[in-house]
Amino acid sequence: MKLTHALPALAVAMTLNAQAFEVTSQDIQEGHPMAKTFEFSGMGCDGANVSPQLTWKQAPAGTKSFAITAYDPDAPTGSGWWHWVVLNVPATTNALPRGASGNIKAALETQTDYGKAGFGGACPPEGHGMHRYQFTVWALPKAQIDLPADTPPAVVGYTLNSLAIDKATLTATYTR
């Protein structure tokens, strides 16, 4: 009888001790504005267009690769705006330095909504208010996601959502 009552408490204790998959950054903070360094260079924006440093930990069991995306759900498009899409990041990787875009070993950077591969920084319309930029690391059960580099970002997003074991998101903001 005592064992039956102890099992729910044990399950709660085990859940509380489990570490969650998470992403952090030395460059951007949850809920805080990003620096101009991470603003796009073009389309009326004149930032440095540098990708931020990202670190992730506690990847779930079965992770064979990671994907990284940066997405603005507040873009006035009706479908948001994809700023960065990276596939096939080796499971042995747990961080990317600032400015990693274009130099991520064994990974594939696919097309963004800017029409080209690689990081495209924040560039909300002037006066449009604060936009959120969701930097997400996806834990995937496959070492390779076989999509061409010119795959539309929404198709990549659909693919990642259908495959992901787990994901961790860090949301920063930007206003012009």
pTM: 0.89
| CATH number, position 74 | 3.90.280.10
109: containing domain = 21-174
Which backbone phi and psi does 67 adopt, to 5 degrees? -125, 155
Q: Give the model's pLDDT for residue 18.
A: 62
Rounded distance between C-alpha atoms, residue 3 and residue 67, angstroms: 43
The pLDDT value given to residue 19: 81
140-166 pLDDT per residue, tens: 999 999 999 999 999 999 999 999 999
Rounded-to-integer distance, Cα 58 and Cα 94, Å: 9
pLDDT of residue 1: 44
Domain count, the chain: 1
The pLDDT of residue 4: 46
